[in-house]
């Protein structure tokens, strides 16, 4: 493909509404440059021409550089570095090809998975990844958002990463009580205090629970939430019940923010109930399909003006 054309009104005789894109390739079939002509708009009285150039590693075929508007005043360039296993390890950006900022750095566990992502030249954030022994994602950072609990100790006065800001977000997934076994780690169910209780242990890879927290930009107290998931015998999600995190422990599950699902005999979703922060129903959806097919015809929003929470379907 060397050229594509999109015409808004379908009349090829009028060119003022056409978007035209041109492509060029190297002998290996990689795109070396792309030029796109955009029509004039209310903000721009003349058409806009955007050029993007690509560079590749000849051996691996990995993209090493992407330049937008090269050689122009508004140029912006990304440069990518990889390790010997062809995993990305760094991303740099520049406006002049002289001064480069390191926007992201990646490090990996010895057996391969991503261990840490560091964002920003000014140490804006560090994301730490943990996995179960069979490779399932266990956590990104830690939901308490406290440096002493964080695998990377971001924001701590001592440790590996004191220059990085404290975590703004963290989450942990729960599969079963023994999915992470390390006596010194907060991810261990017997050590950490942020593990959800009353979970149904699942050993097939389905997520039994999810706890997460996000720091508020206005400085208010963070409110962590935890979801507990239940599935039917064919691994379809049936319920999502949510708990608030108190000062030291999780509160009992309620209908606040919760969702409930039912399915027909073919596995198509039949109903969806969803509640708001107070437990009042905000969605009561019924799905209708063409008889003897799996083709969805319409979705009805059922009335729910009584202010009560959704009726919980049988699990």
Based on the domain organization, do 169 and 263 belong to the same domain? Answer: no
Instruction: Give the per-residue pLDDT at 232.
Output: 95
Based on the domain organization, do 149 and 218 belong to the same domain? Answer: yes
Residue 307 lies in a domain: yes
Instruction: Give the per-residue pLDDT at 311.
Output: 52
pLDDT (tens digit, 9 = 90+) per residue, 160-177? Answer: 888 899 999 999 999 998
pLDDT (tens digit, 9 = 90+) per residue, 50-84? Answer: 999 999 999 999 999 999 999 999 999 999 999 99
User: Which one is predicted more confidently, 29 or 160?
Assistant: 29
Based on the domain organization, do 142 and 228 belong to the same domain? Answer: yes
Based on the domain organization, do 218 and 267 belong to the same domain? Answer: no
Instruction: Give the per-residue pLDDT at 159.
Output: 81
Based on the domain organization, do 139 and 183 belong to the same domain? Answer: yes
Based on the domain organization, do 214 and 266 belong to the same domain? Answer: no
**Kind and range of the H or E run holding 18:** strand 18-25
The structural domain count of the chain equals: 3
Distances in Å between the Cα of 137 and the Cα atoms of 60, 130, 140, 156, 187 are: 28, 6, 8, 24, 11
How many Å apart are CA 195 and CA 210, to the nearest integer? 9
Residue 7 lies in a domain: yes
- Has residue 49 got a pLDDT over 80? yes
Instruction: Give the pLDDT mean for 285-295.
Output: 94
Q: Which residues pair with 106 in a beta bridge?
A: 117
* pTM of the predicted model as reported, rounded to 2 decimal places: 0.82
Domain that holds residue 187: 130-235
Based on the domain organization, do 231 and 269 belong to the same domain? Answer: no
pLDDT (tens digit, 9 = 90+) per residue, 94-149? Answer: 999 999 999 999 999 999 999 999 999 888 999 999 999 999 999 999 999 988 88
The residue from 205, 235, 265 where one domain ends is 235
Based on the domain organization, do 40 and 9 belong to the same domain? Answer: yes
Residue 115 lies in a domain: no
pLDDT band of 209, cuts 50, 70, 90: very high
Distances in Å between the Cα of 295 and the Cα atoms of 11, 139, 236, 262, 283 are: 34, 37, 19, 17, 22
Instruction: Report the range of poorest mean pLDDT among 65-74, 187-196, 269-278.
Output: 187-196
């Amino acid at each position: 493909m060397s050229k594509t054309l999109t015409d808004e009104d379908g009349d090829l005789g009028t060119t003022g509404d056409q978007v035209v894109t041109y492509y060029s390739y190297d002998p290996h079939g990689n795109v070396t440059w792309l030029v796109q002509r955009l029509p004039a708009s209310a903000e721009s009285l003349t058409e806009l021409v955007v050029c993007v150039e690509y560079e590749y590693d000849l051996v691996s075929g990995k993209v090493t550089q992407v330049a937008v508007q090269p050689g122009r005043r508004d140029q912006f360039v990304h440069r990518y570095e990889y390790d010997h296993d062809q995993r990305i390890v760094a991303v740099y950006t520049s406006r002049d090809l002289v001064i480069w900022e390191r926007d992201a750095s990646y490090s990996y566990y010895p057996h391969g998975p991503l261990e840490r992502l560091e964002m920003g030249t000014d140490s804006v954030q560090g994301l730490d990844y943990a996995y179960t022994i069979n490779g399932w994602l266990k956590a990104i950072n830690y939901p308490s958002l406290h440096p002493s609990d964080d695998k990377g100790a971001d924001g701590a006065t001592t440790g590996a990463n004191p220059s990085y800001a404290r975590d703004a977000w963290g989450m942990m997934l729960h599969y079963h009580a023994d999915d992470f076994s390390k006596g010194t780690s907060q991810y261990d169910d017997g050590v950490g205090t942020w593990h959800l209780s009353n979970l149904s242990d699942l050993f097939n890879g389905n997520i039994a629970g999810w706890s997460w927290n996000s720091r508020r930009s206005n400085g208010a107290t963070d409110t962590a939430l935890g979801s507990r998931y239940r599935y039917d015998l064919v691994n379809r999600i049936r319920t999502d019940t949510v708990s608030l995190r108190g000062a030291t422990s999780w509160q009992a599950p309620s209908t606040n923010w919760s969702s409930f699902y039912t399915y027909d005999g073919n596995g198509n979703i039949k109903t969806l109930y969803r509640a708001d922060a107070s437990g009042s129903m905000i969605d009561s959806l019924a799905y209708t399909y063409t008889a003897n097919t799996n083709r969805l015809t319409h979705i009805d929003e059922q009335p729910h003006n009584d202010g009560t929470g959704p009726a919980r379907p049988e699990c």
